[in-house]
Structure 1
Amino acid sequence: MKLAILSRNSKLYSTRRLVEAARERGHSVRVLDPLRCYLRIASDGFAMHYKGKPIAGYGAVVPRIGASVTRYGCAVLRQFELMGSYTPNSAAAIARARDKLRCHQVLAAEGIGLPTTVFGDNPDDTADLLAMLGPPPHVIKLNEGTQGAGVMLTEKLSASRAAIETLRGLYAHFLVQEFIAEAKGADLRCFVVGEKVVAAMRRQAPKGDFRSNLHRGGTARPVRPTRAEAETAVRAARILGLRVAGVDMLRSRRGPLVLEVNSSPGLEGIETATGIDVAGAVIDHVVAMATSRKRAANAVLTDS
């Protein structure tokens, strides 16, 4: 099958592993920088060029769209969808997952466990906003932060107010959440492909920090999620419309709590920690779904 991987850097571990997995399975694969794709949109059809030449005919597209290029990257991915390419994560699903506030609202409405979260805009409401959340410690997160950036822990009410005032002065969008002390600085990353968790790892924050992101010095080890954790991860990804996702959860006294659903989860940390060929699982799923979709479309044409 002719595959495309949307990525700004072909040398990144995740991109390289997807290319390797596709070629090992006999597929044609090309890495395309989404910012070098440009589009023609008209009622008589859609077209796309890449570095001066037309591109078309891709059976499937695997998006690796960074947060900094979400809007343009999603426009390119949407064009591929309109031109008939299959993608495990649609442009609409990626945009939905990238907005932490929207993501939390959608998941909470479906009964997914989450840390209690508050959101407000007016400075006059800060005291009541924090009262709705409860006593500190509080976790304050930028709405579109990634890899632990833009996340802070405040242990006093005065510190929470000061952090909120600072972020509002910068016109930043942020959420405030309860701190789950029993997690002890650890979280669970479940890598979902299709309808199952293909790999999972427990990430532990370094001493003196509460953020377990590997980019922040956290450590990881393989783990077998409980049935409740695996079911929660798969449900969260499905609700957001993602077929490939990294679902981050905390283990709490009231069960698994979803922190974030990542639509472009990194492969290096989880493959290194678990030894599982996650890239291969992604490619196998994408090809199987694209093939099934093509057969269904051909059957409809034959019947008509």
Structure 2
Amino acid sequence: MNEAFNRYIPASDEAKRWGLTLTDLGYTQIPAGSAYPPGEHPDSYAFNVSTGRVLTEYQVIYITRGEGSFWSQVSGEQAIKAGSLFLLFPGVRHRYQPNPQTGWDEHWIGFIGDHAERLMNEFFNPQEPVIQVGMNSDLRALFATICDLTEHEGFGFRRIIAAKAIEILARVQTLSQGESLRSPHNEKMIRQTCCLLNDALRQKFDFNAHATENGMSYTSFRRLFKQHTGLSPNQYLLELRIRKAQSLLTNTTLSVQRISEETGFESSFYFSRFFKQRMGLSPLNYRKAHR
């Protein structure tokens, strides 16, 4: 790998329609004792480490060697080390620099767009811009792939690197969760629970007993499950039942009573009421609309 690579990409109308457009990207190896920031970037991206700068885009910067510091007007001063990743938000003054004794290696992407704004506002916080993701090989490979695709500018590369940028955000958001959440034991337990729920649509599922069998309280299990899936255990099971009901209504001639039994609802009345609340149509009207 060369010591540095960067590219600044004009945002085309086609790229903007994807909702997330990469505007700049690259990596830089800053040796110990080197001046920072290097003078190889456009004036609109350059900054003084004393006064900082304000951008009109989002950036994700991943440090894979060395250490240093980061400051923003929202978060204040924070230490940076190898494995740290920090986020820059539009309109927020910031500055950062490596420790002169160590230097650092930085990988970054900058992006704009409606979808980018939704993701950043929903899953990240300007008050907590520094995330300890560790030395993650998958994350580092994504940054490298974006640079490689951009360097060769193959057909459609702008759309592909936009998708890779979304994957970076997804991995960062996942890695920002606590160590206990990311532990192999807990991941395996949640996967097994999801499999059990898929097989338990016709009968009640005792979540309290299941939590106890896995050595935790229901409260801890519920919190862990929701962090992994985005839904509480009961909501997850109800979603599975509704999806099964949709399939049976569309692809079979089973009665509503029979479908309510196949999907584990207490009665056809409760099933019909819940289905209409969730889907906006009664089961029979849903069947008519999708046959």
TM bin, normalised by shorter chain, reads under 0.3
Taking CA–CA contacts closer than 8 Å with sequence separation of 6 or more, which of the two structures ends up with the larger relative contact order?
1
- Structure of higher CA gyration radius: 2
Compute the TM-score of the two structures, normalised by the length of structure 2: 0.25
Greater share of residues in strand: 1
Compute the TM-score of the two structures, normalised by the length of structure 1: 0.24
